[in-house]
Structure 1
């Protein structure tokens, strides 16, 4: 089995990616993971930027154990007074995970670290900060949707299971400490599942829920709140009589009633993975479009008006496997996208970030990684 050992060694380093990004008062911060600092051991990786690269600072966190363990950063949000909160999962042994939260100072110093829940196939995929400074994180535990609320010092306030969901994909903070949660049920290995939007009160009680789509199958992976209190979500919608899917963007009112939805007339195999809103109610979606019979993919960004009209769409990347995983609108109105690329950079897969004008013009791009 010498070839298997060679393959394991070859893949134990050189892979980096970004999973999420948040705008800050002076720029943006991205979170992802790397296993090049200690080959075969995952570290969460946080980079803080001004309006563009190079980063002001970057640090790796976790990864204290043996091969096949470590931590993965999945989501990021800004804390009050300029810090950051990171959500993800800690792999304590092979295929054994638990939820992981990390609070950082504005300089990247650790304020506290928590691993709520228990070991299993568990973890967090989304995080947000409420008006009172408390933190909510969502993911899955024991095959059910899972939301926790922590106070600003990292003490657990409550933890709730949402059995109507198998996996939480996104959540956003709302006034009066309420939380809008997006998640997926009936997950399939051959196509999309079914999404539900769930409204939680400040104590974790589910006030109402809405199934999306009402008919058919589709998964919504990203969610943002609009100035009028409604929501726009993005993901993928299953095609009738096919295992393929199309981009799916949907706007709902504050009670979850559909106002409009967008599915391309000439569908490609593509999906939305992140979303951000402008003050006028227009939204920008980042994701990926597959090509060459799913052999590789390119990053793609779409902008929609408040009424659901497609304003522009643009692809980014190269000949390899590229994806946009997070998007944020900065204070000056420009956009920043983060993700991963194998088309450029030093490693097998590099963390990738690029800036865009509101019209989709590429302003800059940079990769970060190790050979």
Structure 2
């Protein structure tokens, strides 16, 4: 005698069979499992997106200038399609580059350059992130000769959730880099040969965003804590002595939420930083520039009047004590951005501001002053160039007029 299948048992049976089929597909054919999960057409769309984005994306993250040249660091996935590599371009006073090289060697599944600094005898040191063969990430340091040859390469710490976002060179030629290790702030000091002197975790920070070298081998470290996916965190300025001991720290802002992304040393020993400050009773944020004395006490702050969703991402000090900031301004929130540059007097007065970009998404990530007092700004653009996202650099006069502009990328 056959039993009649009840609707409930029928539905459960079909569900069990579907789950078993899905499990078998996952074990034997992951791609078949994804097709079962999202549907064949969606799977083809996902593969097409992956193929489309495996090449043609370049961006600049930082820039450093000397008396006669400037160097840009970023990343590209076009030289070895499907693999991201760090990219350094070295210029005279303007494009074209004198040389350019990609980095990311054996044992790495990918690499990116986040920050760059000049070495005493004309070389460069680059800080970034390397992806290891086990799927984790390393903080990555690379010392380069004046023509871009690798002098030494280091991945301190251990593989995990790590990376460097800032680098600076001390008076004695040693190198300090800051970033994240095991989801807390991390600072490493190495001698000029790449030998580890010390590394320190800063549990009061979730990540180090910027640092600058000070006299007597001290380091001013900026980082953020209490971050979330829906709102801003709180910034901390930490003073580190030559042995890695944190002698004091200062919370910024004193009230509310704000994140400082860049830090610079002023001629009088004070500090200046830029980032974004949360708006009271709002989820929006605005440009934030704060000038501090050597103990981290604010002397002045600049926050624009009215609702302008903008952020500073890089800062450079000018000979007259003024500063220039590069960052971004939203044209349409969560859709489109312009790069933006601001210039301030030593007293914090806004002298000029300039929007740069096109009809699509553009960002300013780095800024430096050149020997003739002009400014070089670097970042990324979707509005210009040959690729999907191109590395973008442009020069501005001291008054903010565009002097030159160039993109670097591949289709």
TM-score (norm 2): 0.88
TM-score (norm 1): 0.98
Distance 1:283 1:322 in 2: 22
CA change 1:260–1:95 in 2 (3 A) is farther
In structure 2, the residue matched to 1:21 is: 63
Report the secondary structure of 1:176's partner residue.
helix
Per-residue deviation at 1:293?
A: 2.8
In structure 1, the residue matched to 2:100 is: 58
Q: Which has the higher strand share?
A: 1
Worse overlay, 247-256 or 285-294: 285-294
Instruction: For 1:210-249, list aligned pairs within 5 A.
Output: 210-249=250-289
Q: Which has the higher helix share?
A: 2
In structure 1, the residue matched to 2:83 is: 41
Q: Which runs of 4+ in 1 moved over 6 A?
A: none
In structure 2, the residue matched to 1:169 is: 209
User: Given that residues 41 and 63 in structure 1 are in contact (C-alpha distance below 8 angstroms), is that contact kept between their aligned partners in structure 2?
Assistant: no
Per-residue deviation at 1:266?
A: 1.6
Per-residue deviation at 1:24?
A: 1.9
Per-residue deviation at 1:216?
A: 0.1
Distance 1:357 1:25 in 2: 16
Report the secondary structure of 1:80's partner residue.
coil
Per-residue deviation at 1:169?
A: 0.4
Matched, 1:104 2:144: yes
CA change 1:63–1:242 in 2 (3 A) is farther
Q: How many residues align?
A: 369
Matched, 1:73 2:113: yes
Matched, 1:84 2:124: yes
2:297 alignment partner, one of 232, 257, 278:
257
User: Given that residues 41 and 65 in structure 1 are in contact (C-alpha distance below 8 angstroms), is that contact kept between their aligned partners in structure 2?
Assistant: no
Please give the per-residue CA displacement for 1:131-156, whole angstroms capped at 9, x wherever unaligned: 00000000010111000000000000
Please give the per-residue CA displacement for 1:2-29, whole angstroms capped at 9, x wherever unaligned: 2211111001000000000000231100
Matched, 1:285 2:325: yes
Matched, 1:194 2:234: yes
Please give the per-residue CA displacement for 1:267-308, whole angstroms capped at 9, x wherever unaligned: 311100000001221000000001123211000000111111
Distance 2:286 2:146 in 1: 39
Answer 1 or 2: higher relative contact order, Cα 8 Å, separation at least 6.
Answer: 1
In structure 2, the residue matched to 1:131 is: 171
Per-residue deviation at 1:93?
A: 4.3
Per-residue deviation at 1:95?
A: 5.3
Instruction: For 1:264-279, list aligned pairs within 5 A.
Output: 264-279=304-319
Q: Which has the larger radius of gyration?
A: 2
Distance 1:131 1:347 in 2: 40
Matched, 1:327 2:367: yes
